[in-house]
Structure 1
């Protein structure tokens, strides 16, 4: 079976499709598929490492240039807002623009913005420096969003029967980028100064542009008349999107608040805090390929994974502080273990979400092809960015008004609500199917034999 050919017309009976997908024999990746994997993996790694290098030193440099802590937070926050808006627009018009062109253009824009960011220390302090930071950071978000969103769509198009497995493999490289970005950026900054981290990593992204032009396959597709609004008419789509929101909100909350809590509670240095925070992404990247494999082998477990991941996240956040009403003394080992549990919950939930959203689109009649995949990718990215914008802001407010422990409980409650809603929806759908089967059986029994 040629994996690059257009997928066959989808049968209306999704249960039959699920069975077929789960019993398809494993196949060896072709040369074109391997090159696609390498291409998308390089995009994930390069984009994430450039995204994450700012944390260790940029806030200090921005304050020296006259930016307040609030303005520094807004500079980071504008990234999520720009990514959100661009994802919805680009996801709708991915076919007209072209998935390959969108990925390469996004990679080029992101690399140029990273390099330009390396020269902002020469801008006059005050409003000019701050304005340039907002402009460059927003453009970088557009490029980053275009590259990652089209990478999702291309992956799902090239590997229609192994979406979760491939995404699980690719998440290893995204996680490595997030892990290596802060220490590498901090080391380059301390050794060579402000410019070198941005220039070196920006050039790394720039080198990937001609590489991806050569190895990435072109995908022809026909524009669809469907829209995001129709996609959101499906109840399960809304519930899955809410799960995406809770996941990204939790990650954003931890990025903004965990380090200060660990320093104040346990008297740790910044270096030790950085090591502790590695626990979450390390568990995530180790578990992702395994979860992806089981998700593709047993597609019916996707909902089970979402519910399980939500419960695990609830436990992780409630014991992270721990929650005041549990009357458990805060321990460093407990904090580390709960971060690992949250990382595992992310892997359990994130990997099945994208194929589940694709399934939701097909259930309401969306055609198979790049146009649908683009809208699903754009919706996923937009909801994820909404969570990363919400998490640090609302979590920070709760920490300031109450405490870190109560803010973590709120994040756990959001995750539990998502798991509960998904479980109840699945239970209602199962009950409805059983009733239909019983009614059909009764009707058959009443039908006289001819």
Structure 2
């Protein structure tokens, strides 16, 4: 139990750095005069760095334990963050964001794999749900607080505070057990079931939508307090949904919630589209529904992939799942930011609704029950 607690505390601090700046960095470059396309690109480049680092996990996990990967990633986040204070110009911000993205990749791949490794027998869903709650907790407090602080006190306290969070997590990460039997085997996606591929693609679409919301909501809302409140509501819903999804998976098996989660997200965007100015109470309702959908999709899709690849390949499962997660988070804002001049926020939300609905229908028709445990044979 002590090892799980250490992992959860280190996760809160490391991902607190990421969450604090998720919506603040776009505001930072916007304050320097960047267009919507460049604002969206800041998130895309950061998560592009994340995916690039995740693709290197094939080699990293051969030589480093999961504990060392987690610790190095936390250190990179802490050291790189203060560099934002040097300039709000797009080029340097992109470079810093890409480096932070690489550090974030190491943290999330090692973190969720460690959660699966340290879980008691038969409680993998619950353990990953707890990890997901710890990973989501910074979004509840730090993400909306970062937006409010940057618009009230300025950007410097946010950047310095985020750096301190990550640096405090480094010694905790060093105390984690050097559990590495999953890392000694080469990460591979061979043996993934059709259901797990469908779950990953559906999850990719939901994360593209999430990245769009986190990037543009603070810019699109006419009231800063309403944007912060919406991000808070969204984050609370995500945390609660991840805990629920873990318990459901342990009891009924993974894969039951992927399609309902995508539809839940679609409904959330419908609600947001009804209030294009994002200045009424509908934005809070839409954020709550979106957060619930994202939380369900996060935990359930990972467990589907883990079940498909097998418990001894948790490093591989974490790597491919995180590539889908961060690839979607990065691509969504880039595409939406490039098209905002034509669609406006209401049009963008309507397009995301249609995309999520299509993904859910395809997942239901192609994946069907193969996303559930009844039709998945764990890889050896």
TM-score for both structures, normalised by structure 1: 0.73
Following TM superposition, by how much is the alpha carbon of 1:52 offset from its aligned partner in structure 2, in angstroms? 3.0
Q: Which segments of 5 or more consecutive residues in structure 2 lack a partner in the other structure? A: 376-380
Q: Note the alpha carbon deviations across 1:372-408, whole angstroms, 9 max, x for none.
A: 2112111111111221122112223444323433322
1:294 paired with 2:248, answer yes
Distance verdict in 2 for CA 1:218–1:238, change over 3 Å:
closer
Give the equivalent residue in structure 2 for 1:199: 160
User: What is residue 285 of structure 1 aligned with on the other side?
Assistant: 239
Match of 1:335 in 2: 283
Map of 1:178 onto structure 2? 139
- The 5 Å alignment of 1:158-237 reads 158-159=118-119, 161-185=122-146, 194-220=155-181, 223-224=184-185, 227-228=188-189, 230-231=190-191, 234-237=193-196
1:423 aligns with 2:364: yes
C-alpha distance in structure 2 between counterparts of 1:60 and 1:428, whole Å: 43
Structure 1 gaps, min length 5: 1-33, 264-268, 325-329, 363-367, 435-450
Q: Is the 8 A contact 1:91 1:377 kept in 2?
A: no
Inter-partner Cα distance in structure 2 for 1:253 and 1:191: 23
| 1:413 aligns with one of 337, 354, 358 | 354
Q: 1:154 aligns with which of 110, 114, 117?
A: 114
Matched, 1:317 2:278: no
Matches within 5 A, 1:12-411: 34-54=1-21, 58=25, 62=29, 70-91=37-58, 93-118=60-85, 120-121=86-87, 130-159=90-119, 161-185=122-146, 194-220=155-181, 223-224=184-185, 227-228=188-189, 230-231=190-191, 234-263=193-222, 269-299=223-253, 302-322=254-274, 332-362=280-310, 368-369=311-312, 372-411=313-352
**Equivalents in 2 of 1:71, 1:308: separation in Å?**
33
How far apart are residue 218 of structure 1 and its match? 3.3
Give deviations 1:194-233, integer Å, cap 9, x for gaps. 44433333233223222222243433457435633x356x
User: Which is further off, 189-198 or 269-278?
Assistant: 189-198
Cα distance change, pair 347–190 in 1 and its aligned pair in 2 (3 A)? closer
Moved more, 95-104 or 172-181: 172-181
Q: Contact conserved, 2:133 with 2:240, CA < 8 A, in 1?
A: yes
Shift of 1:192: 7.0
Higher mean displacement: 49-58 or 277-286? 49-58
Bigger radius of gyration among the two: 1
Instruction: Summarize the Cα distance change of 1:275–1:319 in structure 2 as closer, same or farther, 3 Å threshold.
Output: closer
The Cα offsets for residues 178-197 of structure 1, whole Å up to 9 and x where unpaired, read as 23224544566578764443
Matched-pair contact (CA < 8 Å) for 2:14–2:165:
no
Residue 174 of structure 2 aligns to a residue whose secondary structure is: helix
**What are the superposed Cα offsets for residues 336-357 of structure 1, whole Å, 9 maximum, x if unpaired?**
2232112111222221111110
Secondary structure of the structure 2 residue equivalent to 1:54: helix
Q: CA RMSD in A?
A: 3.3
Structure 2 length as normaliser, TM-score? 0.85
SS at match of 2:56: helix
Query: In 2 relative to 1, CA 61–308 (structure 1 residues): closer, same or farther, beyond 3 Å?
Result: closer
Q: How many residues end up aligned between the 2 structures?
A: 372
Secondary structure in structure 1 of the residue aligned to 2:122:
coil
The superposition leaves residues 18-54 of structure 1 with CA deviations (integer Å, 9 ceiling, x where unpaired) of xxxxxxxxxxxxxxxx222222222332233212333
Kindly tell me: are residues 104 and 271 of structure 1, through their superposed partners in 2, closer, same or farther at Cα, counting changes over 3 Å? Answer: same
Query: How many angstroms apart in 1 are the aligned matches of 2:187 and 2:11?
Result: 28
386-395 vs 209-218, greater mean Cα deviation:
209-218
Q: What is the CA-CA distance between 1:98 and the residue it aligns to?
A: 1.5
CA contact (8 A) 1:149 1:374 kept: yes
What per-residue deviation string (whole Å, max 9, x for no partner) do you get for residues 307-347 of structure 1? 221222222223331399xxxxx993333223211211122
